[in-house]
Amino acid sequence: MDLFETDTPEGSGEGAGGNAPALSVSELSGAVKRVIEGEFGRVRVRGEVGRVSRPASGHLYFDLKDDNACIAAICWRAQAARLAHRPEEGMEIIATGRLTTYPGQSKYQLIVEQIEPAGVGALMAMLEQRRRALAAEGLFDPARKRVIPFLPGVIAVVTSPSGAVIRDILHRLRDRFPSRVLIWPVAVQGSACAPQVADAITRLNAIAPGGPVPRPDLIIVARGGGSVEDLWGFNDEAVIRAVAAGTIPLISAVGHETDTTLIDHAADLRAPTPTAAAEMAVPVLADLSARMAETQARLLRGVRTRIELPAQRLGDLGRALGRPQALTEPARQRLDLTGPRLESSLRGFVRDCRHRADSL
């Protein structure tokens, strides 16, 4: 016999309940709980997220609603840490879990185990909403962009250590300009991606100069192409704030050229591919050597010009002045002509002086 029905006709026996056993509140709540959990052991519910709460306990509370109804949902701390997509107010999702009751408030609720956006359209709508919110804070302002160093001494690469991306980057750096590379391994997709990438960027910026681990001059965050869901970790707010708060220039190389994530807007430079990021990071050594040789030749030509041009002008001015002998030859000729007459005049002068002296 059902707990909520009785075979006793109305008005017979000792009142309306007849001989039905009287249940305690706890017994009734437990019976309802067993019925609901038995009928809805695992369900998938689609709806719009509302009233999201994240208390210090780490559990996640939110409402799941549509036009006509609303159901409370809860995600326990351990499961919330593994969610690939955190629910945000206004986001349309599909929540997978089990239905149960909460006797303390006489309500039923959904214990959420997995969350997925209700289609790519909902995911992109949430991405655009987050982009606008972060842009309003100035995190994507071009004035915040830092200049990429021309020849970085140490380059830190934040990526998966086992993928083809790191091999492509190291190969291109070795071909162009061999540099010192610091590899920081992270997960590049899944629930662990965003916290690991944000932590890597924060820790790299915290490295002190002159320590046992060299402080990078440049950071490259790299990942190969993938779907929107695969790249979602690089749209996380924690990653964007870590990039904006850093002091080391950063190149974003997430996905292929057609893929766009929020880290691309916050980074100082966006590379279409991880290989292109390595090309942007360092110049080609052969080209640099050629440029240095050309600069050295131009410098020598400039020095030679600075020396030879004044000497040439001095020579031109010297020719305009004429020969120094030409200035003295007329005087020498007059001296030759007047020399004999000067000698006879001096003799006559001496003779006259002697004559006057004798007379005195």
CATH of the domain at 101: 2.40.50.140
Expressed as residue numbers, the domain containing 153 is 149-283
Q: Do residues 102 and 157 share a domain?
A: no
Q: 205 and 232 share a domain?
A: yes
| Number of domains, the chain | 3
Q: Give the whole-angstrom CA distance, residue 333 versus residue 141.
A: 89
C-alpha 217/C-alpha 29 separation (Å) is 63
- Shared domain for 59 and 120, answered yes or no, is yes
- 89 & 177 share domain: no
Confidence grade of residue 11 (pLDDT, cut at 50, 70, 90): very low
Residue 239: inside a domain: yes
Q: Are residues 158 and 65 in the same domain?
A: no
pLDDT band at 360 (very low <50, low <70, confident <90, very high): confident
| Average pLDDT of the chain, as a whole number | 85
Q: What is the pLDDT of residue 7?
A: 47
Q: For residues 78 and 112, state if they share a domain.
A: yes
pLDDT score, position 17: 54
Q: Is residue 229 part of a domain?
A: yes
Residues 249 and 301 in one domain: no
- 6 vs 171, residue with greater confidence: 171
Residue 100 falls within a domain, yes or no?
A: yes
Q: What percent of the chain has pLDDT over 70?
A: 92
Question: Residues 241, 307: one domain?
Answer: no
CATH code of the domain in which 223 resides: 3.40.50.261
Residue range 212-232: mean pLDDT, rounded: 90
Q: Name the more confident of 133 and 21.
A: 133
Whether 270 and 305 map to the same domain: the answer is no
Same domain, 305 and 271: no
- Specify if 12 maps to a domain: no
* Cα–Cα distance for residue pair 106/96, rounded to 1 Å: 22
Question: Dihedral (C-alpha) 83, 87, 88, 89: value to the nearest 10 degrees?
Answer: -170
Domain assignment present for residue 255? The answer is: yes
**146 Cβ contact partners less than 8 Å away, ≥ 6 residues apart:** 247, 248, 249, 250, 268
Q: Is residue 261 part of a domain?
A: yes
| Co-location of 218 and 302 in the same domain | no
**Does residue 155 have a pLDDT over 90?**
yes
| 316 belongs to a structural domain | yes
Would residue 340 count as lying in a domain?
Answer: no
Per-residue model confidence as pLDDT tens digits over 242-267:
999 999 999 999 988 888 899 999 99
Per the CB < 8 A criterion, the answer to whether 72 and 110 are in contact is: yes
**Looking at residue 13, what is its pLDDT?**
47
**In a shared domain, residues 156 and 262:** yes
As a whole number, mean pLDDT of residues 285-309 equals 86
Res 322: pLDDT? 65
